[in-house]
Amino acid sequence: MIMKLEKILGRCRPVVVMYLKILCIFSAADDFIRKLFGRKPVLYRLEYHVAEHCNLNCKGCFHFSNLVHSTELPGLGQYRSDMVKLSSLFGNIRIIRLMGGEPLLNPELPQIIRATREVFPKAKIHILTNGILYKKIAGGLQEEIKACGAEVHVSLYKPMADKKDEIKKFFRSQGIKYQMNGPIMYFGKYLNLEGTSDPKQTISGCHASRCTFLQNGQIARCPLPFNIKHFNRRFGQNIDMEHERINIHDNKADGYAIKKILRRPMKSCRYCGDIQWVKWGNAKDNPKPEDFLRD
């Protein structure tokens, strides 16, 4: 079954590559027109970890959240400062994804949503959750989600698949905007520790290449330059991707220059290969490097 899935997705790769190329062309054209008229550029999407840790131990988690066994939460003050800085660089961010880890584990999520809406009034705000804590979307959190026009996006993994109708009923009864993805029965392994992949080839079919990631005043083309530290720490590796991060608080920072860098393949893309699909599983208490590595 997995081999069939890989063959199907493999045939779709040319379509994915063409789709990403078209998006890149439109983005460059949009930048050209905006710059011509003296306007700020627009960032398509920004992702932010509201929590590094998670309450679901997915084997081979793309963000390595199953390797984080302590509470790791970002500072609200730093987030506000970063968003204000981004607003000076970009006229808008079309989609801001508050995720993790599991964002519902952060008690300051209501304040984070409010700060996001205040700085970027036109942005779409998506809260990505695995749905386990959906009943905790109440009180102040629920009020901010509604008041700020945010949407809750549920990634429905195998352990919560039988709760699908129950979760939908809850969101509808509370008047909360939501989307549901899944059930998700497969995960993708992509790491190549030898660093022998062709960055241009890797980036050509990589959806993560449009997942501009923010953390502590820095952004990068994808989450890996920030999250690889969890893999390094757990398995004694020393994969260095810090050079891929862009300091948005640099006095010389410019929105157009930043977007130009974000369009380029990262040198660190050599550590990623084509995705190998495997059945979703629980890592339990014994995650292994092989959970993340392509065979």
Is the backbone peptide bond immediately before 289 cis, with ω within 30 degrees of 0?
no
Alpha carbon distances (Å) from 119 to 56, 105, 185, 220: 31, 23, 37, 20
The residue with greater pLDDT, 2 or 105, is: 105
- Segment 38-42 shows an average pLDDT of 96
Give the DSSP letter of residue 27. H
According to the model, what pLDDT value does residue 102 have? Answer: 97
According to the model, what pLDDT value does residue 16 have? Answer: 62
Counting the structural domains of the chain, the total is: 1
Domain that holds residue 239: 2-291
| pLDDT beyond 50 at 3 | no
Q: From 36, 44, 41, 118, select the one nearest 76 (Cα to Cα).
A: 118
CB 91 within 8 A of CB 34: yes
Which CATH number covers residue 243? 3.20.20
In sequence order, the β-bridge partners of residue 187 are 278
Give pLDDT tens digits for 127-177: 999 999 999 999 999 999 999 999 999 999 999 999 999 999 999 999 999
What confidence tier does 14 reach under pLDDT thresholds 50, 70, 90? low
pTM to 2 decimal places: 0.93
DSSP string, 238-279: ----GGG-EETTSTT--HHHHHHHHHSPPGGGGGEEEEEEEE
In sequence order, the β-bridge partners of residue 278 are 187
Residue type (1 letter), 28 = A
According to the model, what pLDDT value does residue 13 have? Answer: 58
Contacts 24+ apart (CB under 8 A), 201-207: 202/265, 202/269, 202/270, 202/272, 202/273, 202/274, 203/265, 203/266, 203/269, 204/17, 204/20, 204/21, 205/13, 205/16, 205/17, 205/20, 205/274, 206/20, 206/269, 206/272, 207/16, 207/20
| pLDDT beyond 70 at 218 | yes
- Segment 71-95 shows an average pLDDT of 97
